[in-house]
Chains A and B, each alone.
Chain A
Amino acid sequence: MPATVNAAKCKSCGALSYPMHFLCPKCGAREFEPEPIEGEGELLTHTRAYALALDYEQRYLTLGIVQMDSGIRVTGQLAIDEPRMGMRVRATVGTVRVTGGSEISGLIFVPA
């Protein structure tokens, strides 16, 4: 099964939240079901970051915040050469960090 990144869907009121909080930010209930983050959205802002933390060999990382059509917002990496604010992007899931030999999956956005 391919890796997914999930938002939390409140079982009481249906509100989506990401990241998950202990209680639903809308109604305070604490039962959630996972809702895969997929599909398209709009790139709100982005940066090419050069001063990287541990675990990264590359010269820079391109990062962005995306407003998903589903209503939630997410932070992710961008596999986009020339990102522009407002452009349409599509969520994919891939390896975003390798820590001590283990691969961490996360959201990587590509042009829609």
Chain B
Amino acid sequence: MRDVAIVGAASTPFGRSQWSLLKLMAEASHAAMTQARLGDRRIDAVCVANMGSARNNRQAGLASALVDRLNLFPAAAETVENGPASGASAVKVGFQAVASGMSDLVLVCGGERMREVNNLEATEFVSYLSHRYAEYPYGVTLPALAGMFARLFMAKHGVTAEHLAMVAMKNHANALLNPNAHIKMELSLEGILHSPHALMNNPFVADPLRFFDCCPVSDGAAAVLLAPAEMTSDLTDRPVRIAGIGQATDTQAVHERPDPTELTAVRIASQRAFEMAGLEPKDISLAELHDAFTILEIAQSEEVGFFKRGKGHIALAKGETQIGGRLPINTSGGLKAKGHPVGATGVSQIAELVFQLRGEAGKRQVKDPRHGFALNFGGFGNSVVATILSRGF
């Protein structure tokens, strides 16, 4: 296998966009490509991450449409659909193409335009991730699965509504430092939990989870450009290496898991990524976790191995996961506040690590990071991709 570098990374603003899906994706892709000194080199392949363009945006064959939009003919084109883990899955597919020697320059772009349909349609669309016969017919949605998970997890480990609110407050604060974030709003415990208006400001969505425990529905795109190590010095002065990737699958129906509070695929995917990178959780300088719901950031921080089981909320309460803490988590604002355009999310997590490792993260810059970790989580933990990036070679 050849070593693989990221030589360009970019994101559009996330939120409600006036741009079409292909415009969003072309903007992110172009920005990532122009960071590299490509000269006469051609892009060999384009790998797109998206979950619902055929349903929500009346566009199928998205990757070839993007090649067309960007005039990258005759680049190979393919779309990866792996639920909310599509983004990191597409980066993995691009990595394999470069590592194998089959392709040199591979553009990976994740995009989703969710706000083209109304909230009801968006909720319905995302609920298709649940088991078609054992969950979906009951009206099970992703927030409902997260609510049932949260109730069990909180009872088992002593996590309170205040801990969940701390995740939201931290990630909203980080998003205020990220110009591309969807939600620019400072939160206080008083406002979302303790004031007489808290139930109105922050109503239950799937109890015990409330409005500010859930990520928004966003439009957006993010892109990275991959190249083999030997080409890197021609293309960029600040290469980032893909050091490890791990992936795992768990049961589709959450109730079939031996312990429904455990996210086994997160644990296995992370172990595999650390093994490939030759690193351990303590080597990681910062992490982007898949906080579609606040409870998930806490649970994942334990399954990845950053904190002991049942101790994630304690590290959070001590401030260890803030920017400036021992292990900053979701410096970008996370899905919670940066936003969650489904297919874009995994690519955007990896792009945030690139910005941080290149020292380009502005006001949210972590001091001298060496290794970054991203966890992209599909369904309710049935498909998980962990990615580790390292600075330089």
A-to-B contact residues, CB < 8 Å:
17-19, 44-56, 61, 63-65, 73-77, 85, 96-97, 104, 106-107
Contacts and interface: CB of A to CB of B under 8 A. Distances in A.
B356 interface: no
A49 B139 contact: yes
Interface in B141-162: 141, 143-144, 147-149, 151-152, 155
A76 to B, nearest CB: 6
Contact of A49 (B143, B254, B255, B256): B143
A47 to B, nearest CB: 3
A53 B120 contact: yes
A52 B126 CA distance: 11
Interface residues of B, number: 35
17 contacts: A44-B260, A45-B151, A45-B260, A46-B148, A47-B144, A47-B208, A51-B143, A51-B205, A52-B139, A54-B120, A54-B124, A63-B139, A74-B134, A74-B255, A75-B140, A85-B155, A96-B139
B207 A56 contact: no
Contacts of A74: 134, 255
Contact of A53 (B123, B131, B204, B205): B123
Given A46-B148, A65-B260, A75-B253, A51 B139 contact: no
Contacts of A18: 134, 256
Contacts of B349: none
B134 A56 contact: no
A44 B152 contact: yes
Given A63-B148, A75-B253, A50 B204 contact: yes
Contact of B123 (A45, A51, A96, A104): A51
Given A47-B148, A53-B123, A75 B139 contact: no
Contacts of A104: 137
Nearest to A108: B138
